[in-house]
């Protein structure tokens, strides 16, 4: 398997980037949506980012429209929503598929490294979170119901 760092990404602004741009950082990778019951978690994700970014945490948001058509907007609409409603400053990426044939390579890798309940790989809903250590290894997967603030206990040891 190739390193996570070699995987290509596209920012929400359409710029090409690699996961490697975040090498050496602790990453929290989240599939996000603007019309989901969990959408208020944007505030908690932003709070985590602001609290720990100087110590090496980066939150990476991947808008996804695979669950109940809860991210119908285009890139400009998504970015505008995140700016106006939650003052999001962490990196956002192009709309991404997380399951199925069109699943992004990053999500394929994360799902195989950090499986869900009962060993499942499929992502069940928006705001599933993956914690990746500074070496690029997915160390934990969190359910959409896991609140961002509750992840701090797992993030902090990875920052030391």
Please list the rounded mean pLDDT of every run of 10 residues in the chain (160 residues): 86 96 97 96 98 98 96 95 96 97 95 77 94 96 96 96
* Residue 149 lies inside a defined structural domain of this protein: no
98's tokens:
């997380």
* Residue 148 lies inside a defined structural domain of this protein: no
Question: Which residue from 40, 47, 43 is spatially nearest to 152, judged by alpha carbons?
Answer: 47
* Residue 145 lies inside a defined structural domain of this protein: no
* Residue 112 lies inside a defined structural domain of this protein: yes
In angstroms, the Cα distances linking 12 to 21, 73, 88, 96 are 15, 12, 13, 10
Q: Check residue 121 and give its pLDDT.
A: 81
Range of the domain at 99: 4-134
* Residue 158 lies inside a defined structural domain of this protein: no
* Residue 31 lies inside a defined structural domain of this protein: yes
Q: Check residue 1 and give its pLDDT.
A: 45
* Residue 42 lies inside a defined structural domain of this protein: yes
Q: Check residue 120 and give its pLDDT.
A: 72
> What is the domain count for the chain?
1
Q: Check residue 160 and give its pLDDT.
A: 82
Q: What are the backbone dihedrals phi and psi of residue 122, each rounded to the nearest 5 degrees, phi first?
A: -60, 140
The pTM of the whole model exceeds 0.85? yes
* Residue 128 lies inside a defined structural domain of this protein: yes
Q: What's 59's domain CATH number? A: 3.40.30.10
Catalytic residue IDs? 36
Beta bridge partners of 31: 62
Q: Check residue 118 and give its pLDDT.
A: 63
């Amino acid at each position: 398997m190739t390193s996570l760092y070699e995987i290509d990404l596209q920012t929400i602004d359409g710029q090409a980037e690699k996961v490697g741009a975040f090498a050496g950082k602790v990453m929290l990778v989240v599939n996000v949506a603007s019309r989901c019951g969990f959408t208020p978690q944007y505030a908690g994700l932003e709070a985590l980012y602001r609290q720990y970014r100087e110590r090496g945490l980066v939150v990476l948001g991947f808008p996804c429209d695979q669950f109940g058509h809860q991210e119908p907007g285009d890139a400009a609409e998504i970015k505008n929503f995140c700016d106006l409603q939650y003052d999001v400053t962490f990196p956002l990426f192009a709309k991404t598929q997380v399951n199925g044939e069109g699943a992004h390579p990053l999500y394929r890798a994360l799902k195989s490294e950090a499986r869900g309940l009962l060993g499942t790989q499929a992502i069940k809903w928006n705001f599933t979170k993956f914690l990746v250590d500074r070496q690029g290894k997915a160390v934990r997967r969190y359910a959409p119901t896991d609140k961002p603030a509750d992840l701090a206990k797992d993030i902090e040891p990875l920052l030391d």
